[in-house]
Amino acid sequence: MTGFGIRDSGFSAWSLRRIALLLTRMAKKPPLIMKLTMPVSPFSTFPRKWGKGQTNACASFTLRHAMRLAVRLLLPASCILMTACGKEPLYQEQGYVFGTLVEVTVYGESEPHAREAIASVMQEFQRLHDMLHAWKPSELSDLNKAIARGESRVVSPELAAMLQDAALISKQSQGLFNPAIGGLVQLWGFHEDEFKPVQPDENQIAQRVSANPQMSDLIFTAAPGGMLVRSSNKAVQLDLGGYAKGYALDRAADLLKKRDIHNALINIGGNVLAIGGHGKRPWRVGIQHPRKSGALAAIELHDGEAIGTSGDYQRYFMLDGKRYCHLIDPRSGYPMQGVQAVTILTRGVHAGVLSDAASKPLFISGVSGWRAAASRMGLVDAMLLDEQGNIHLTNDLQKRLEFTDKAAKFQVE
């Protein structure tokens, strides 16, 4: 069975309707190996079971419901490519959190065991979403308000540790990964559920850039019940959108292992982490093409590896024929131009965090600087697609990729 999805923003009504019709047909006559339930809340799960039992679908699934679901099923930067037969012990659930589609797949376990383990992961995703939301009430947004007032605030040890870790990554990236520029992200309209095609005032952009908010502006002091955080720069506004998904991947992996899950694949909006394998073979995932439907390339992920993509095709708006994405260059204050996508492969204890955060400096560095940025971030497996669609990649990653487009031209750097 293969998955499907749509790019967030920029898709046609015709494409959306095709997806909706497909969903409707699936509901009326579902495949033998698929179980689909409709979402009932902003964080709903869609269980899928591959096994010997019959499956069913929501009887009240209509085209209108399908259209709503089609809008919400965002095509992640890396799309999962999996085949499954009716006898495979494969269990998967999907949810919608962090503003994107999340999937957790478990192999080789009984359905009750897999279901219980995945439920704990989904609950953890929701907890982190509620804690780290940048513009709705959360622990992070409360801290932002205190910083803007020039005040200190006690935060949980967990959030403090995240901020300290993000500050280290920011320093390593020479400030190109900079979660302190939440004010710029908001100014460009990306702290909204829907993006409006409006360019901010140039003077406002310049003011925020000149204020030079940095993660190094944060000051941490031990306090009862947590850590007291203040900033030497009131312009700091924290947005962990480039860190949270990776952190959640690592947390999910820890939770699954503690529940004796030995083979699983976790996908949060295109950041994917592998545990064990898909039976006797590695997990196989696809890297989404930034301008075409389907995958640009496929790769096998081994135990403990994670892959992440930063692209200009999920969160963006078009204005006067120009694309403005959410990946903002902190040096200029403007969305990065000249790059369609960057994909990196990471491994190790914090593979999830690195798959999310470490791709941003490469994207912001552009064609001329991505390779040096990769070296600074300790990455040997990386790929960049420039604005013309030309593929630049490292030798190590080139050896791992299988391009689905056999005519694809790439330059090893």
pLDDT in tens, 351-387: 999 999 999 999 999 999 999 999 999 999 999 999 9
Mean pLDDT of the chain: 84
Give this prediction's pTM: 0.82
- Encoded tokens for 347: 């491994």
Using alpha carbons, select from 245, 292, 250, 242 the residue that is nearest to residue 75: 292
Pairing verdict, β 295-301 and 305-311? unpaired
Q: Average pLDDT of 163-183?
A: 98
| Distance (Å, whole) CA 220 – CA 229 | 5
User: Is 176 in contact with 330 (CB distance < 8 Å)?
Assistant: yes
| Domains parsed from the chain with CATH numbers | 13-132+242-412 (3.10.520.10), 139-231 (1.10.3980.10)
Q: Average pLDDT of 224-242?
A: 97
Residues in CB range of 24: below 8 A, 6 or more apart: 61, 62, 63, 66
Using alpha carbons, select from 47, 55, 32, 50 the residue that is nearest to residue 87: 50
Range name among 41-50, 107-116, 385-394 with the lowest pLDDT average: 41-50
Residues in CB range of 388: below 8 A, 6 or more apart: none
| Distance (Å, whole) CA 27 – CA 68 | 14
